[in-house]
Structure 1
Amino acid sequence: MIDERALLEALNSTPMVDGRPRDLWADAAALRRWAQEHGGSGDAPAIDWLRTARDLLQRATRGPVPEAELRRLLTGVHRLPEIGASGLRWRLQAPPERVLAVELVLAWYDVQARRPGRLRPCGNDECRLFLLDRSRANTARWCSMKTCGNRLKARRHQERARQAPQS
């Protein structure tokens, strides 16, 4: 199952490491483990769809939603109501190789609906990570205050110090 934590893991699977972009999902074995930890099969077609979904959702979080590409991923997908002892439950019906990728997309849309404007890219232009702002004021700017926030604040302070007139 894809929850908010798993969604952020997926979105943040392409970090900058030592100034270079890195794709943690380029390693099929690592992605297979991630998929299996979240209820997926981890077979090759499912892994391809997961990468596709991740890339589309990263684009959608940074800018306009790539609707045509998401429609392609969601073609033939349905949610069916099931009533049982525990009440109403919605069962996802999708081609097996796309189930986890579809769950990832549904989790993204769920966050957009429940927490509008809270899922966004880090405010550090040199960072490729995303954050889900859980603060009351919705003012978080960085994926991590410890890394990106402090780094940018220190850089701005140094720039102001350089520009200040010397007496």
Structure 2
Amino acid sequence: MIDETALLAALNSTPVREGRPRDLWADDAALRQWAHEHGGRGDARALDWLRAARDALQTATRDAVPEPELRRLLAEVRQLPEVDGAELRWRLTAPPERLLAVELVLAWYDVQQRRPGRLRPCGNDECRLFLLDHSRANTARWCSMKTCGNRLKARRHQERARQSPTP
């Protein structure tokens, strides 16, 4: 199953490095490794579904939920209850090539439900990463204070210094 850490890793697989957007999942071997680490398949169709799920969830986190894409991903998906003594489990059934992509979508919806408003894009417009705010006040703005937060604060300081009249 996909947890919050794996969800963030998927969402953050299109970083900007040295001013250029990159897609870490463009490399089949890297995505295949991520899929295997999370119990998924590594065949070409499964990788395509994972990329589609990631792209749809990035859009949904930045803007409006892309319903047609998510409906296509979730077609033929079922969750069936299984009772074992006092324990109730839900078994997910989906076409095998879509199973991990579906788990990714379900993890995103779970975060949206349990932590509304806490999963969001970095406040740095030049960054394409996302953050899951664990702070009590829900005020985190950057994916990383060390990189984006410090950069933006330094930039604002320099702008103020330039605008201040010199004695």
The bucket for the TM-score relative to the shorter chain is: over 0.9
Q: CA deviation at 1:68?
A: 1.2
1:148 paired residue number: 148
1:94 paired residue number: 94
1:165 paired residue number: 165
1:5-38 CA-partner distances (Å, limit 9, x unpaired): 0000000000001000000000001100100000
Look up the SS of the partner of 1:100 in the other structure.
helix
Tell me how far apart the structure 2 counterparts of residues 155 and 33 of structure 1 sit (CA, whole Å): 38
Note the 1:1-167 alignment, pairs <5 A.
Answer: 1-85=1-85, 87-167=87-167
Aligned length: 167
Tell me how far apart the structure 2 counterparts of residues 17 and 85 of structure 1 sit (CA, whole Å): 51
Structure 1 segments, 4+ long, off by >4 Å, are none
The one-letter code sitting in structure 1 at the alignment partner of 2:118 is R
The one-letter code sitting in structure 2 at the alignment partner of 1:5 is T
After alignment, is 84-93 or 110-119 more displaced? 84-93
**Alignment TM-score, normalising by the size of structure 2:** 0.99
Look up the SS of the partner of 2:40 in the other structure.
coil
1:120-158 CA-partner distances (Å, limit 9, x unpaired): 000000000000000000000000000000000000000
The one-letter code sitting in structure 1 at the alignment partner of 2:101 is A
Tell me how far apart the structure 2 counterparts of residues 6 and 120 of structure 1 sit (CA, whole Å): 15
Q: CA deviation at 1:86?
A: 6.0
Tell me how far apart the structure 2 counterparts of residues 106 and 121 of structure 1 sit (CA, whole Å): 19
Aligned residues with identical type, % of pairs: 80
Look up the SS of the partner of 1:120 in the other structure.
strand
**RMSD of aligned residue pairs (Cα, Å):** 0.7
Q: CA deviation at 1:41?
A: 1.1
After alignment, is 76-85 or 127-136 more displaced? 76-85
Tell me how far apart the structure 2 counterparts of residues 36 and 136 of structure 1 sit (CA, whole Å): 34
Tell me how far apart the structure 2 counterparts of residues 41 and 154 of structure 1 sit (CA, whole Å): 44
For structure 2, the 5+ residue unaligned runs are: none
